[in-house]
Structure 1
Amino acid sequence: MTTPTTTENTTDTRRGLRVTGVLAASALALTACSGVVDDAGDGEAVTLTLATAATAGTPNAAVQDLFLDRLEEASDGRIEIDRTAPESLCEATEIVECLRDGRADIGVTVPDYTPQYFPTLSVSGIPFQGQNSQAITQTLYDIHRDYEPAVARMDDQGLHYVSAWPVGRLLFGAQEPIESAEDLNELRIRASGPTIQRILQDSGANITALSASETYEAVERGIVDSVGAAVDFAVNYRLMELLPYWTDPGVGQYSTFGMWLSKDAYDTLDPELQTIVDEVAQDLNEGSAVDAFNEAASGQCDELAGESRVEMLDEWDEADREAWAAEVEESGRDAWIATANEHGMDDPEALLEEYEAGLEQYQDADYEDATLTCVRNFAN
């Protein structure tokens, strides 16, 4: 196949890895199908193409950029990142396919947009179960590093796991206050994630599944009149301009952003670079991802508080929160198990046990939730 050339200000979208520097001329022998360098030997520099759904300025972009910066730094420039603009190379819902077919080497998006690939990550969407983002991030990392069925599933999908971190606490944004589960009945709401969607449907809501970038227009056009989403929907995606009432129902963390290398890209790296990727990923999962997320998220409260069209940002009363939690405790677990079975996962109950054991192991992980702090300080 012909190797495309590039010109200034044009994004090079060659599949797979691209050799740079003085070795470029000799190393541009690409495989006929995938375009991946045949042999990235010791000392060669490689460029990894990023496809991302993380909008600049969001906490998720902060985590992504931390990982990419540290890769380039730790490799002394041997790893370079072609940082394409969000959704310019692939739409958010297609990024995993871009990794699988070789258009990108690193992908960052919401796993719940393509839940058929990620039942091992959607387990984090069981409502009221996960409140500590660090415990969730570390547990998911351990599972995808040590629990063989999860490792095998990533391999089968052609992906090398880097990290998955919670997108932030679930908030409801609406035209009118949502104060209890009763207010969800007949609500037209945007929500993402198979488990929370089922729980909301069971509470009488009418669900529309939309990506983050599609949601503003859907609210503006009246396709939905409310959202279930993290605080960056209010701030970075500007839903605070349209929806004046925001509340935290106590669900906690309900979905993740994920980051992967394509397996072909990772396997082509020489052992030294593979070690660098894995060590930077380990540090990310052991705390730096959540630190970067929280640092960026802490600034969102000031923007939300300064928006004159926002009438309310609060949390449900304890009695309403506990009543809904009790109502969905078992159905949430059952909903995830049903979804995992639908997506061909063997023995999802065993993975759920691994996940719950991890949350217990890391329950004391140092963590302060920036969103919850924002909610509780909003009226002060």
Structure 2
Amino acid sequence: MTMRTRGAGTRSGWARRLRLAAVATALALSAAACGGSAGEGGSGDEVVQLQMASFLSPSTAQGQAISWWIDELEKRTQGRVKVETFWDASLLGAQEVRDGVRDGRVELGNVSYAYTPSDFPLTSIVEVPFLGDNIGAQMEALNSLYANDEAFRSEWENQGLKVLSFIGVPPALTGAKERVTTVDWYRGKTVRASGYFVKALEAVGGNPAAIPVPETYEAMRTGTVQAYGGLILDVITPLSLHEVGGHIHDPGLGHYANSTWVISTETWNSLSPELQKIINELNAEFPDQLIKAAERTEDEACTKILESGGSASIFSPEQTQIWREAIGDTPMKEWVEKARKAGVADPEAMYAQFKNTYDAAKTGKYADYKSGIARCAARSQ
């Protein structure tokens, strides 16, 4: 028998409970399969089917890492657990995935907290700039904070979401029609921006423009903006932005966001300890898979940028320091205030824990990591 879902938004509570009960038997069925062929024991054809929604394409680095996780789950449970995937916002839009997972329309999803920032004040810790550019270290720091800090973990689990792994996001890059090597270039320029990059631009005399990502190409083509910012390397080429702003640079602001791979807590709690163990093993391997995928997609993007006549560069430490001094400690103060309002008694200690874990991972486990823009800049010379 194959347990299947009905369309999103039409499932009854009874259907959901039935499916969760089926999930709870998955490991037992998997273990039975290990002892014989699929048809032995009369339960070899039992399949538990989950649903996953993503607003991303499976060709992105995040999409490739999530696809690996799903394929491995099916493999390590001998096909007893299968996941039906809905990519490219075909089932739920980017703003809907969080609610879709927690209310039972899907069991799995990748969530961007940035669409509902007021619900994730602690997770916005990633918006404090100048931490670094090591996505492995970012994932290590966030996953460690989730595992060891009750307040941080509760921010997700109180919303019905169990974090499988945080997903690192590389540094925010800027693209223009000419090479940019100094902070002064931004003064008086209109730049597509979002998130904390808006305030960063304002700090150095730039004019941020809140232009949606899909409209950025036309804005660059017509000269509405002189540059685009807040995007990562392997997003630039799918949007063809290298054709209208092929000189890409990293101003040194560092990480600016993250994404999160989640399962509903209701589904997670229904699983047997053995199946949870399999999933936790996959979660531990997930960051390395993301890094491998990012290397592939970033290098492909770099090739397209350079072959189109573009370039890649990184601001000198002196130029980044100018920007750091212009921004000051405002982002940290704003995060600390949000954390206090969320009930954290000592936000500074939480950030120190986060940064210490990041730094340890950057110099230890992920010491060999090199960002996509750094690799591309080396090729651009």
Q: Does residue 319 in structure 1 map to residue 314 in structure 2?
A: no
Following TM superposition, by how much is the alpha carbon of 1:197 offset from its aligned partner in structure 2, in angstroms? 3.4
Matches within 5 A, 1:338-353: 338-340=337-339, 344=342, 346-347=344-345, 348-353=347-352
Q: 2: distance between equivalents of 1:277 and 1:212?
A: 34
Partner of residue 116, structure 1: 118
CA contact (8 A) 2:251 2:315 kept: yes
When residues 35 and 159 of structure 1 are mapped into structure 2, their CA distance, relative to the original with a 3 A threshold, is same
CA contact (8 A) 1:124 1:253 kept: yes
Partner of residue 19, structure 2: 37
When residues 77 and 217 of structure 1 are mapped into structure 2, their CA distance, relative to the original with a 3 A threshold, is farther
When residues 216 and 99 of structure 1 are mapped into structure 2, their CA distance, relative to the original with a 3 A threshold, is farther
Q: 1:13 aligns with which of 8, 12, 35?
A: 8
In the superposition, the TM-score normalised over structure 1's length comes to 0.82
When residues 218 and 108 of structure 1 are mapped into structure 2, their CA distance, relative to the original with a 3 A threshold, is farther
Matches within 5 A, 1:54-65: 54-65=56-67
Aligned partner letter, 2:105: R
CA contact (8 A) 1:125 1:253 kept: yes
Please say which structure displays the higher CA radius of gyration.
Answer: 2
Aligned partner letter, 1:150: F
Partner of residue 32, structure 2: none
Q: Does residue 71 in structure 1 map to residue 66 in structure 2?
A: no
Q: 1: distance between equivalents of 2:75 and 2:188?
A: 51
C-alpha distance after superposition, 1:38-65 (max 9, x if no partner) = 5234236322211112223222222222
Gaps of 5+ in 1: 7-11, 17-29
C-alpha distance after superposition, 1:234-262 (max 9, x if no partner) = 21222112223321112222222221112
Partner of residue 36, structure 2: none
Partner of residue 227, structure 2: 226
Following TM superposition, by how much is the alpha carbon of 1:210 offset from its aligned partner in structure 2, in angstroms? 5.9
SS of residue matched to 1:165: strand
Aligned partner letter, 2:74: E
SS of residue matched to 1:172: strand
Q: 1: distance between equivalents of 2:357 and 2:123?
A: 13
Following TM superposition, by how much is the alpha carbon of 1:141 offset from its aligned partner in structure 2, in angstroms? 0.6
Aligned partner letter, 1:148: E
Q: 1: distance between equivalents of 2:52 and 2:212?
A: 19
Following TM superposition, by how much is the alpha carbon of 1:272 offset from its aligned partner in structure 2, in angstroms? 2.4
Q: 1:92 aligns with which of 88, 91, 94?
A: 94
| Percent of aligned positions that are identical | 24
When residues 218 and 99 of structure 1 are mapped into structure 2, their CA distance, relative to the original with a 3 A threshold, is farther
C-alpha distance after superposition, 1:188-234 (max 9, x if no partner) = 333343x3433333334344556645544555576654322111232
CA contact (8 A) 2:251 2:320 kept: yes
When residues 329 and 373 of structure 1 are mapped into structure 2, their CA distance, relative to the original with a 3 A threshold, is farther
Following TM superposition, by how much is the alpha carbon of 1:341 offset from its aligned partner in structure 2, in angstroms? 5.2
Q: 1:180 aligns with which of 179, 182, 197?
A: 182
Following TM superposition, by how much is the alpha carbon of 1:144 offset from its aligned partner in structure 2, in angstroms? 0.9
Matches within 5 A, 1:1-380: 12-13=7-8, 31-32=13-14, 37=19, 39-40=21-22, 41-42=24-25, 43=29, 45-193=47-195, 195-209=196-210, 212-213=213-214, 215-216=216-217, 219=220, 224-228=225-229, 229-285=231-287, 287-308=288-309, 310=310, 312-340=311-339, 344=342, 346-347=344-345, 348-364=347-363, 365-366=366-367, 367-379=369-381
Following TM superposition, by how much is the alpha carbon of 1:152 offset from its aligned partner in structure 2, in angstroms? 1.3
Q: 2: distance between equivalents of 1:15 and 1:275?
A: 31
CA contact (8 A) 2:58 2:67 kept: no
Partner of residue 26, structure 1: none
Gaps of 5+ in 2: 30-45
Aligned partner letter, 2:80: R
Aligned partner letter, 1:330: D
